Amino acid sequence: MERLGFIDEHHMFREAFRTFVEREMVPNRDKWEAAGIVDRELFAAAGSAGFLAMAVPETMGGAGVKDFRYNQIVAEEITRGDVYPAGLGMTLHTDVCLPYFLDYCTEEQQQRWLPGIASGELITALGMTEPGIGSDLASMTTTAVRDGDTYVINGSKTFITNGILADLVIVACKTDPSERHKGMSLVVVEAGMEGFERGRNLDKVGMHSQDTAELFFNDVRVPVENRIGDEGQGFVLLVKNLPQERLSIAVAGVAHARAALSWTIEYCNERTAFGQKIGSFQNSRFKLAEMETEITIAETFIDRCVTALNKDELTADEAAMAKWWCTELQKKVVDQCVQLHGGYGYMNEYPVGRAYADARITSIYGGTTEIMKEIIGRSMGF
């Protein structure tokens, strides 16, 4: 079935990025998985090739293309190439962090940061989650106390993607601790600032080549000019950005499911049992048919959501639908693909085995499935 919204330029971009994945990422996958982190040079290589932060204006080193279809292609190709964890930092950098710098920063801030973000010299991260608060962002305890022309930041964050590599961390903090949502602001903490410390690179069940860290702020003095937006506007900006963040996760989820299915179809056409190919058994055909159908339906909805996002029409509840459905489908499909592989599916040398561990987190980060259903339910008037 022809995909909605893709034109010749998108197909050319896909071929170019697929070549980049095969040349720059696939050969390094095992090394990065063992190290628990990718090389910084990956971001520089992607930036040099024009595959990073594509929406940054040409005058600041980007491609000047605000079309999320290109972001979608990046996610689809890193999953196809079995380098999903290694590519997650790039999608977070481009899909999740970039909009804060592109849409809410002053011209001076953009001149200071956007060229490095586009080139890959400045790697970005978003610091929202804290130990013990989960999805309850209004309960965060990280504070930024005004002292003249600086903020003094104290607190900690956890589960921060790109936490080890990041040069710029957008930190959600309380500039007015007496308030909940209205007391939150966003302040960019830069690598090397005194009192900013990174904890351990967290030992995760999956997503091994993606660095995920604890961050600590001990009397970190940050210039007020590093604040994004107005004081007290942090929660509003986070909420505005969440639909794109959740769509990004949904895109990767369904793409990962598609990749797992393709590996499984190949396996079922090669592996034999009882004198015939595994795929020729009725149960196998039914399972493969079910997955093909469900993935195709999800892709159709995702393509529609990307079209809506490009028109600034994607709603919070639509993004929530995409996020919970596609990540739950991702887990379901990968689990069934492991089953069809049999014992080999549980081996790390097979991509479907690695996918099994990598897929489990996606229905948790970016807002749990339960939170997504709550958003949808409230949009229905309940």
State the CATH architecture for 235-379. Answer: Up-down Bundle (1.20)
> What digits encode the pLDDT tens for the residues 131-164?
988 777 888 999 999 999 999 999 999 999 999 9
Name the residue among 68, 66, 69, 90 with its Cα closest to residue 78.
90
Q: Which of 276, 277, 295 is nearest to 336 (CA)?
A: 295
The pLDDT, as a whole number, for residue 284 is: 94
pTM of this prediction? 0.96
Report which residue type is found at 233. Q
| pLDDT, tens digit (0-9, with 9 covering 90-100), for 54-75 | 999 999 999 999 999 999 999 9
Query: What CATH homologous superfamily does 8-122 map to?
Result: Acyl-CoA dehydrogenase/oxidase, N-terminal domain (1.10.540.10)
Closest CA to 91 of 212, 279, 319, 252: 252
Cite the active site residues: 245
Q: What are the φ and ψ backbone dihedral angles of 132, each rounded to 5 degrees?
A: 90, -5
- Contact predicate 271/277, CB 8 Å: yes
Segment among 99-108, 143-152, 276-285, 308-317 with least mean pLDDT: 276-285
Beta strands 196-201; 184-190: pairing state = unpaired
- Tokens standing for residue 129: 């989650």
The amino acid present at 198, given as its one-letter code, is: R
pLDDT-wise least confident of 120-134, 252-266, 289-303, 315-329: 120-134
CATH topology of 8-122 equal to that of 235-379? no
Question: Looking at residue 139, what is its pLDDT?
Answer: 84
Between 65 and 4, the higher pLDDT residue: 65
CATH number of 125-232: 2.40.110.10
Residue 32 · residue 212 · CB < 8 Å: no
pLDDT at site 136: 78
Residue ranges covered by each domain of the chain: 8-122, 125-232, 235-379
